[in-house]
Amino acid sequence: MTISAERPTEVVVPSAAPPSTGGISRTPRSGWLSQHLGTAIIAAILGYAFGHWLGNYVSSGYTYVVTSGQNSTADALGLLFGVFGWLLGIGALNHPMAKLVGREGVEDAPVEGWSKYFRYTLDHKVVGMQYVVGVLLFLFTGGLLAMAIRTELLNPTTHVFAPDTYIKIVSEHGTMMMMMATSIIVGPLGNYLVPLMIGSRRMAFPRIEAFSFWIFVAGYMVIFSALPYGGFPTGWTGYAPLQTQAGPGMVSYLLGFAVIGLGMMAAGFNIAITIINYRAPGMTWSRLPIFAWSMLATAALLTLATPVLVAGGLFGLLDKTVETAFYVTEHGGSSYLWQNLFWFFGHPEVYIMALPGFGIVFEIMPVFTRKPLFAYKVAAAGMVGVALLSFFVWQHHLFQSGINPDMRPLFMLTTELISIPTGFIFLVGMGTLYKAKIRYEVPMLFCMALFFNFLIGGVTGVFLSDVPVNVTVHGGFFVLSHFHYTIMGGLLFAFMAGLYFWLPKMTGRMMNSRIGKWHFWTMFIFFNLTFFPMFIIGLAGQPRRVFTYAKNLQVLNDFSSISAFLLGASFLLFFANLMWSMFISPVKAPANPWDSLGLEWQTATPVPPYNFERIPVIMTDPYRYSEVGAPAFADLGDHTPARSSASGSDQT
């Protein structure tokens, strides 16, 4: 049974007269401030200065000052007002402020050229490209910190950093990478592609979409500010009581999580409403592209799980600033409360990162196998099942934390149960590859690598769901390796597959295939050479977050460190490819270089502000590659879609 979505009425205009953008690609203006990056930076600095002064003034009547002599209240208010100033300066608050005083917001003319990427804009395609740059900046910063970690672990006795400095580097690396990873696909590809894939001219709430990006950037700056504040020693999990004992850098951690969490909630809510209400006529649930299904499941997790993290961070912030006792055991609080709140978000977060990755590879694989996606409905049901079960497994992270032993079997069972829908998703990929005529283009190579890496991460995850094994290896390098295989080995490889596949659509330029293959092979080989030895290191007893280890493990640590440096160098190949293909020696991309049936490839390149001249009418599902003479996926009126040339004799 298929369900038709109710959609807002849209006027279909002839192709000879493209529709008014209706604000879709315009820069909003309400008359309060001109919005651009320079204004945002100035406003953020002024906001921080005012907030810090206000915090010192407010707290002058009591003596709660952190050990370093800095006032946590002043630090928190400084960062908070800095975020407010940033949003005000970029224009994210102009429209609601105008409404508050009874004024109607007006709009500037469309901004052309590169300057539009440094402004607050309502065009989902510009927001998607802004996210691409933002998450790559996050990735680069976190990667540099990872190189510092592996440099320290080259020798167990000769140290580059002091012990407190090392743990702060580890903490900053983990926090930056995790916050980047939650938005690495939802932000760039989700915002850019979802409206195109479902036949919509825009996101449901363009202002919320733009807000989600600029507050994401603000959250990055807040988390990064922990370094000049002296860092935080808790690891990325921020456990109490270390949280309440830490210095002023902990304020950046707690507020940064809350700020980025607001952006994640906004993005998830917006994507979910867009998919539910803005699908083109004929796009029933059984015809929805699988990437859109993955975005819908992820949006549900973002919307429902992230508020718990935001609330948990605010509780910790109150403990640090005004001496509440949510997590302070000696004053009646509980450190277990933070762990439960954190992991109630933290384990669904794993699937916030994993599900979009599978959505990408399932969208790409039919294109390069020239086969329909195997068991489409199983894939969609598996994603929904993973999203549902992910809320019932969080306490397996607390097996070592004093959890009631009677609860352990329940959470061991639920953790093992979630491997069932995950396994279904994995088998969908294997079924799509079965007897396929594969084109080994760069995006397809990254897709196949994901399954190899995720298999290792998934199998080791089943072991970790078992209480005796978990108790034995908890807090060691075995868990660290499993985590990187699951997240980096899955999510990051999927993200690279998506960039190589969709950047020709997003930029109108083809990435260099030869450099891309060099990037893939170096990244794949050195990723495995970096993290697989960590399973052995972990089983040999080396704990995480400790910079001194047994001398007999130095050879494996050195091997892992050297491989990590080469893995980092592989990303330089990607950036070199990006610069070469976009600026140095650009090659114009064909309208449909991969011969895809996807709706996003049926509109012009570059995509016009209004996406489609006519709202398309969906005729069938988007994966009918092996059916000779199959009807076109969609009717776009006067615009002739790019047809697949692989609908005939070259089918499997």
Q: Decide: residue 67, CB within 10 A, 0-12 exposed, 13-18 middle, 19+ buried.
A: exposed
By mean pLDDT, which of 31-40, 72-81, 181-190, 487-496 is the weakest? 31-40
Q: Which two tokens stand for residue 212?
A: 């989600």
Instruction: Flag whether pLDDT at 377 surpasses 50.
Output: yes
Cα dihedral value 226, 230, 232, 236, nearest 10? 40
Question: Strand 28-29 and strand 106-107: pairing?
Answer: antiparallel
Q: What percent of the chain has pLDDT over 70?
A: 88
Tell me which of 574 and 15 has the higher pLDDT. Answer: 574
Count of C-beta atoms within a 10 Å radius of residue 440: 11
pLDDT at 22: 41
pLDDT tens for each residue of 322-347: 889 999 988 889 999 999 999 999 99
Q: How confident is the model at residue 253 (pLDDT cuts 50, 70, 90)?
A: very high
The CA distances from residue 21 to 42, 267, 460, 612, in Å, are: 31, 22, 50, 11
463 token code pair: 């072991």
Residues 496-511 have a mean pLDDT of 95
pLDDT surpassing 90 at residue 218? yes
With 60 as the cut, is the pLDDT of residue 71 above it?
yes
Give residue 106's pLDDT band: very low, low, confident or very high (50, 70, 90): low
Q: Mean pLDDT throughout 22-26?
A: 45
CA pair distance 64, 56, nearest whole angstrom = 11
All domains in the chain, ordered by first residue:
123-584 (1.20.210.10)
At 104, the pLDDT band (50, 70, 90 cuts) reads confident
Question: Which of 198-207, 354-363, 583-592, 619-628 is least confident?
Answer: 619-628
Token pair for residue 616?
């398309």
Return d(Cα 198, Cα 284) in angstroms, integer: 10
Q: Which residues contact 371 (CB under 8 A, 6 or more apart)?
A: 432, 436, 625, 626, 652
Buried b / exposed e over 417-437, threshold 16 CB at 10 Å, is: ebbebbebbbebbebbbeebe
- Name the more confident of 605 and 192: 192
Per residue in 431-440, pLDDT tens? Answer: 999 999 999 9
Q: pLDDT band at residue 250, thresholds of 50, 70 and 90?
A: very high
- pLDDT confidence of residue 28: 52
Mean pLDDT of 14-40: 54
Instruction: Provide mean pLDDT across the span 204-229.
Output: 94
Whether pLDDT at 521 is above 60: yes
Residue 130 has pLDDT above 70, yes or no: yes
Whole-number Å distance between alpha carbons of 643 and 539? 53
This prediction has a pTM of: 0.90
Answer yes or no: are the C-beta atoms of 50 and 635 closer than 8 Å.
no
Which position has the higher pLDDT, 620 or 286?
286
CA–CA gap between residue 647 and residue 623 (Å, rounded): 11
Residues 6+ apart with CB under 8 A from 650: 370, 437
Instruction: Tell me the mean pLDDT in the region 134-160.
Output: 94
| Confidence (pLDDT) at 400 | 86
- The larger pLDDT score, comparing residue 633 to residue 647, is at 633
Q: What is the pLDDT of residues 456-480, one digit of tens each?
A: 999 999 999 999 999 899 889 999 9
pLDDT of residue 363: 96
Average of per-residue pLDDT across 379-395: 94
* Mean pLDDT along residues 148-177: 94
- What is the rounded average pLDDT for all residues in the chain? 87
pLDDT of 13 over the 50 cut? no
Residue 57's pLDDT is what? 84
Q: How many CA atoms lie within 13 A of 89 on its CB side?
A: 21
What digits encode the pLDDT tens for the residues 544-566? 999 999 999 999 999 999 999 99
Q: Is the pLDDT of residue 248 over 70?
A: yes
- What lies within 8 Å, CB to CB, of 406 at 6+ separation is none
Q: How many helices (H) and strands (E) does the chain have?
A: 20, 4
Can you tell me the mean pLDDT for 347-374? 94
- pLDDT band for 181, please (50, 70, 90 cuts): confident
How open is the CA angle 228-234-239, to the nearest 5 degrees?
135
What is the rounded average pLDDT of the residues 442-464? 95
Picking from 337-346, 598-607, 634-643, which range would have the lowest pLDDT averaged per residue?
Answer: 634-643
Tell me the average pLDDT across 8-23.
Answer: 40
Q: How many residues belong to the chain?
A: 652
Q: What pLDDT, on a 0 to 100 scale, did the predictor assign at position 15?
A: 37
Instruction: Tell me phi and psi for residue 106, to 5 degrees.
Output: -115, 170
**What pLDDT is stored for residue 610 in this prediction?**
87
Residue 493 pLDDT class (50, 70, 90 cuts): very high
Q: Which position has the token pair 């302070």?
A: 328
* Higher pLDDT pick, 76 / 605: 76
Question: How far, CA to CA in Å, does 204 sit from each of 73, 105, 196, 637?
Answer: 38, 18, 13, 23
